[in-house]
């Protein structure tokens, strides 16, 4: 059920505590809603606190539990503080969703070091820092689930996405290593590759409506994914007991793209 739907549902995640980065809008917001509807206590973390407070308020309005945290993932100390605060507020940590990512696009020949540093610092470095900070908290709970984010533009090598592709494929490699090193602790690490109506996709739709429609028509399912019902619900499954034997893998939520 979408963001305007009913109250907390089956409680598949009751008792679980999950932090989501980049949760103030778009896919992160949809994931936070989906997790909370299944009973998880959610830390809504993002760079702009007022957006996170809005999402936390939305969750509270349908009976869910959430706190809003300001967290610029390019700053390691802010990530560590957000995870400590989450564990202190809710008594532990069971899951981490590394959704936040900044980037610029442009021809590969014109990519600057600043472009690369922004993508890497907000992507694989932020993901690494968050996972390292989460590790002792998850181990205290006897395990847990980490969901990181890749991109179909990186997998296909889409033009103009050079720095972003570097970052996203770096995250996939990092995730596979973490899955193999931390499986002994009962920690699962997987990657989601989404095609969804994110703020970037909405901007594309506004600025280039014909190209956007062409892109949608190429999708076998004929539509863009919904941040909550298509992406968020899949993350719920990864956080729940339904997929406890899945780790080190990439879940392609791209509508067949």
- Can you say whether the dihedral through the CA atoms of 186, 191, 196, 197 is positive or negative? positive
Sheet with 95-98, side-by-side order of all strands: 65-70, 41-46, 17-20, 95-98, 144-149, 187-194, 250-253
Instruction: Residue 246: count other Cβ atoms within 10 Å of its Cβ.
Output: 14
> Residue-wise over 203-237: b if at least 16 C-beta within 10 A, else e?
eebeeeeeebeebbeeeeeeebbbbbbbbbbbbbb
**From 129, 149, 161, 164, active-site residue:** 164
Q: How far is CA 206 from CA 24, 135, 212, in A?
A: 21, 41, 9
Of the candidates 241, 252, 232, 253, the residue with the CA atom closest to the CA atom of residue 14: 241
Of the candidates 81, 88, 93, the residue with the CA atom closest to the CA atom of residue 17: 93
164 is catalytic: yes
Cα 158 from chain centre:
21
Q: How far is CA 202 from CA 121, 158, 211, in A?
A: 25, 19, 12
How far, in Å, CA of 102 to CA of 256, rounded? 25
How far, in Å, CA of 63 to CA of 72, rounded? 28
Please identify every residue annotated as catalytic. 164
């Amino acid at each position: 059920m979408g963001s305007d739907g009913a109250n907390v549902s089956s409680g598949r995640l009751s008792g679980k505590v999950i932090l989501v980065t980049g949760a103030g809008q778009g896919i992160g917001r949809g994931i936070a809603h989906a997790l909370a509807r299944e009973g998880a206590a959610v830390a809504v973390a993002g760079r702009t606190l007022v957006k996170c407070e809005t999402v936390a308020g939305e969750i509270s309005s349908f009976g869910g539990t959430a706190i809003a945290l300001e967290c610029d993932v390019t700053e390691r100390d802010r990530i560590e503080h957000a995870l400590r605060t989450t564990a202190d507020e809710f008594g532990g940590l069971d899951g981490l969703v590394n959704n936040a990512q900044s980037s610029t696009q442009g021809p590969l020949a014109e990519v600057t070091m600043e472009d690369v540093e922004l993508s890497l610092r907000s992507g694989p470095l932020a993901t690494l820092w968050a996972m390292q900070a989460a590790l002792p908290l998850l181990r205290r709970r006897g395990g847990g689930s980490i969901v990181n984010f890749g991109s179909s533009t990186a997998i296909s090598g889409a033009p103009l996405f050079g720095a972003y592709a570097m970052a996203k494929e770096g995250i996939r490699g990092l995730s596979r290593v973490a899955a193999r090193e931390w499986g002994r602790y009962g920690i699962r690490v997987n990657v989601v590759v989404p095609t969804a109506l994110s703020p970037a996709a909405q901007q594309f739709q506004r600025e280039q409506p014909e190209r956007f429609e062409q892109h949608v028509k190429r999708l076998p399912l004929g539509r863009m994914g919904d941040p909550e019902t298509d992406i968020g619900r899949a993350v719920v499954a990864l956080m729940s007991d339904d997929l406890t034997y899945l780790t080190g893998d990439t879940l392609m939520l791209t509508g067949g793209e």
